Amino acid sequence: MQKRFNRIWLVPIFILLLIGIYYLPPIHSRLAWRIELARTQIQYWINPPDQAVFQPSQQTNPLNVETMVATVRAEMLLTLTPASTPTPELGPTPEPTITSTPLPATVLLDGVNYEHQHGRTNYCGPANFSMALTYWGWDGNRDVIGKVVMPINEKDKNVMPYELQDYITENVPGMTSIIRSGGDFETLKRLISAGYPVITEKGIYETDLNGKFSWMGHYAFITGYEDANQVLIYQDSYQPEPETNPGQNRRMGYEAFVEGWRAFNYVFVVVFPVEKQNEVLALLGPLADETQANRHALEIAKTESQTLYGIDQYFAWFNIGSSHVNLLEYADAANAYDYAFNLYANLNVDDTARPYRMMWYQTGPYKAYYYTNRFSDVINLADTTLNDTIAEPVLEESLYWRGRAYYMAGQTDLATKDYRTALKYHPNWAPAVQALQELGIQP
């Protein structure tokens, strides 16, 4: 009897010992991602993420969407139909905003220290921004950035451009950056030929850790181009095989690059020393002004919404919404997102057609619905994102915006829970800390 009693106690002791061994840093770093992978595979098998669909339900006036679509189509027709115009009167010749000097046909920047993201989960943000900083002589690497912006590495799925920009502002003296939407190849080439590499965020199709070929977001550090071959040269931190599939100085055709870049509203980031700001602004030309850049992005998206089909048309309408958000035009943004989500629901149900990770990387719809008092849609979109597109609800931005909507709906207890959960997955994250402090709660 005594021996049996002793054996019973051995079981929980053995379990506790295994747990203790698992959390030893050398063991945990090797096993954590495998356990996360197994959990994700089980969750995706039970609840396929590509079948998750969010349907807006709180439209104050559904006719607004139809009106917006009709307006965009009318604007598109005007741009395609030549109109007769009177002969303009002669006037002063406007000063060019950027130099008209022809750009070199080929550029490949020297001094790039290539870094990959392997051995770390979802580390393309830290790796690419580290390359951008070390190009200018910064003494650091991906892990220096990652420990700040991704404190729980195996949980964090994405780092937004603004988070990486904030890191530079707060931690790298003498360096700064500019984020703009509505980029194009001429702007990229103008910057690169002047010695300024550019970070872009784009969509890619790759076999993910679950073995599924699917759409995901990815940063690309552009360091050159070849006009003769119509290719950009960039540093791809994801590619694992230096011999068969190299990430260093990878080449991609202009057309293929645009297809991926479109998913992120043609956003780009330039990292540079503070004293070079005037030079960078001059190189940006019309895109130097952020409002003008957002207007330009909006016009691109409107045009593409009427000339593209399928997933590309979905991206275009999503970009219309994002551009309106950047311009603080939230009602127009909400209507555009409504139409985008309707297009999404009608895409083919497979990973290559439905980019179910979209809300992992972009939060414009939350802002549009929140600032138009559509709190139920904020909550429902966050529920779909957190419960149906990801194995564990680790997206701090979705938790944060759902928390804000809960608070506005009078559910402070649920708001508090979401803010605390956001901090669980991203310790000391400023928006969640501030949200709790506004409620009189210490994080």
The model's pLDDT over 265-276, given as tens digits with 9 standing for 90+, comes to 999 999 999 999
Among residues 257, 288, 319, the one where a domain terminates is: 288
Are 158 and 124 within 8 A, CB to CB?
no
In a domain, 54, yes or no: yes
Q: Give yes or no: residues 201 and 300 share one domain.
A: no
CATH number at residue 312: 1.25.40
Tokens of 203: 């969509």
Residues 10 and 68 in one domain: no
Assess whether pLDDT exceeds 90 at residue 23.
no
Of the residues 267, 288, 309, which one is the last residue of a structural domain? 288
Residues 239 and 163 in one domain: yes
Task: Give the pLDDT mean for 141-153.
Answer: 90
254 and 382 assigned to the same domain: no
For 341-367, write each residue's pLDDT tens digit.
999 999 987 656 789 999 999 999 999
Task: Provide the β-strand partners of residue 268.
Answer: 180, 200
Q: Which domain holds residue 8?
A: 2-46
- At position 313, the amino acid (one-letter code) is Q
Residue 87: per-residue pLDDT: 37
Residues 334 and 387 in one domain: yes
Residue-wise burial string across 187-210, b where 16 or more C-beta atoms lie within 10 A, e elsewhere: bbbbbbbeebbbbbbbbbeeebee
Give dist(CA 298, CA 308) in Å, integer.
15
Please say if the pLDDT value at position 381 is more than 70.
yes
**CA distance linking residue 266 with residue 283, whole number of Å:** 17
Q: How confident is the model at residue 95 (pLDDT cuts 50, 70, 90)?
A: very low
Record the tokens describing residue 199, joined without a space.
């970070």
> How many structural domains are present in the chain?
3
DSSP string, 9-28: HHHHHHHHHHHHHHTSHHHH
CB 331 within 8 A of CB 362: no
How would residue 226 be classed by pLDDT, with cut points 50, 70 and 90?
very high
Residue-wise pLDDT tens digits, 390-439 = 988 999 999 999 999 999 999 999 999 999 999 999 999 999 999 999 99
Most confident of 42-51, 67-76, 236-245, 333-342: 333-342
Query: Is the confidence at residue 79, as pLDDT, over 60?
Result: no
Do 232 and 126 share a structural domain? Answer: yes
